[in-house]
Amino acid sequence: MKRSPLLVLCLIALVDLSSFGLIIPLLPIYAKRFDASGTLLGLLLGCFSLAQFVFAPILGRLSDRIGRRPVLLVSVAGSVGAHLLLGLGDLGSWMWLLFVARVLDGVTGANIATVQAYVADITTGKERARGMGMIGAMIGLGFVIGPALGIGLLILGTKVVGETTGTCWPAFGAAVISSISFFLVWRFLPEPQTHEVAPSAQPKPRLFFTNLRHVIRDPRLGELLLLLVTLTFCFVIFETTLVYTCMYRFELSRNQVMGVFVYIGLLIVIVRGGLVGRLVRRLREPNILVFAPLVSASGFLAIAFAQRWPVFGIFLVACVPIAFGVGLGDPVIRALLSRQAPANEQGLTMGVASGMNSLTRAAGPVIAGALYDWNAALPYWIAAIIYVLAAGFALTIKSAQERALERNDTPGADLVGGPLSE
């Protein structure tokens, strides 16, 4: 594994997710300023992911054709502009501009798939779980650093210029941080030597469902994508309803809500940064596919009960298994996807995975918000049931995934050929 590119990629993921996390402190503000229902807040969250759904596979395939570096440069530059628009929308209290900014950020910010494809370019099959885990750890760490910086900028801005205009400081702070990410890509990230850019030999970018049909020709990849979507949907339910649960069920202040986000992000960092590699070596990936959803389900059941008996201590304890299951399951699934995909279709496969993830994140917040508006405990009951069903599905495919893993662990299996190249 080449250390320098991986280190830069980790820094890029950290900076990108820190800039994303800076926006989180604004969510409870928007909820009150615009008297937003759970459904409207879900739409604001979902439009970002809907744009990612459309463009993530295109950027992933484009990175296969023209290179990882130029795609990363363009996408990060777009994120800078999107955060500037978000700050302007906040200043003018223009809800429509907030939606425009989130859509633009989704269009240009679908670069995690390209980062993951870059990791696949510079790692061998057995190292990919560790490499994906490191990227996941940086994502989780960014989720911790971002809200913390957002809280600081929010407090500073409101004290310096007042409540009316000070709330835009986190958005402009996100623009600064994204600019740092752009500098890191431009200055320190070369095109990976193992990635051969051959535009004439590569097909042109295709529509998402065309790419999806191509990827799921291998049923093992299709199974992994289904699990990824399921786990993502359940965590989106948690993300979307967390602000309202903390504000209205436990009557937390705005800063206390942000403290909860930091707490959850820190839990995910601990899992992805310190436990993923050890558990993969001890349990193997197919076993984790069964184990992780069951752990998360227990946390959702506890939160569902906490909606009726609002004991904040129960809620904090329940966040631990949720963060554990998500922090463990997501990087393992993505590592399996990268190991089983052909070497020349890493960007395509990871782009499709991110596209499926984004489609789930587009629809999930709207569904979660509507469910919460109906009954505060209902989203958590549904998520717990879905997690249990996902664990049952993972159990039925475990043997097939183990055989596929053994085939791809043979010498050279991760470098040439593959199930989609037949």
Query: To which residue do tokens 């601990």 refer?
Result: 270
**What pLDDT is stored for residue 298 in this prediction?**
94
User: What letter does residue 168 receive in the DSSP assignment?
Assistant: T
- Which positions ≥6 away from 113 have C-beta within 8 Å? 56, 57, 59, 60, 63, 347, 350, 351, 353, 354, 355
Q: Which of 202, 189, 207 is nearest to 71 (CA)?
A: 189
**Does residue 209 fall inside a structural domain?**
no
CATH classification of the domain holding 303: 1.20.1250.20
* Contact present, 195 and 348 (Cβ < 8 Å): no
* Residue 86 in domain: yes
Domain-embedded: residue 11:
yes
* Inside any domain, residue 255: yes
Q: How far apart are CA 180 and CA 17, in angstroms?
A: 12
Q: What are phi and psi of 259, to 5 degrees?
A: -65, -35
Structural domain contains residue 201:
no
**Residue 45 one-letter amino acid:** L
- pLDDT recorded at residue 416: 26
What residue type is assigned to position 8 of the chain? V
* 352 assigned to some structural domain: yes
pLDDT by residue, tens only, the chain of 422 residues = 444 577 778 877 777 777 666 776 676 677 667 777 777 777 887 787 788 777 766 777 787 778 888 888 888 898 899 989 988 988 887 888 988 998 888 887 667 767 877 887 777 665 666 677 677 667 667 766 777 788 788 888 888 887 777 888 888 988 888 888 888 888 888 877 655 444 444 445 566 778 888 888 888 888 899 999 999 899 888 888 887 788 778 888 767 777 787 788 788 778 876 777 778 778 788 888 898 899 999 999 999 888 777 788 888 999 999 988 888 888 888 888 877 777 777 777 877 887 787 788 788 888 888 888 888 889 999 999 999 999 999 999 888 777 777 766 533 333 222 222 22
Q: Domain containing 179: what range? A: 3-189+216-408
pLDDT for the residue 278 = 79
In a domain, 95, yes or no: yes
The backbone torsions φ and ψ at residue 28, rounded to the nearest 5 degrees and listed phi first, read -65, -30
Tokens found for residue 398: 């475990």
How many whole angstroms from its chain centre is CA 390? 19
Are 360 and 215 in contact by the 8 Å Cβ rule? The answer is no
Q: Is residue 150 part of a domain?
A: yes
Return the pLDDT at 421: 25
Number of domains present in the structure of the chain: 1
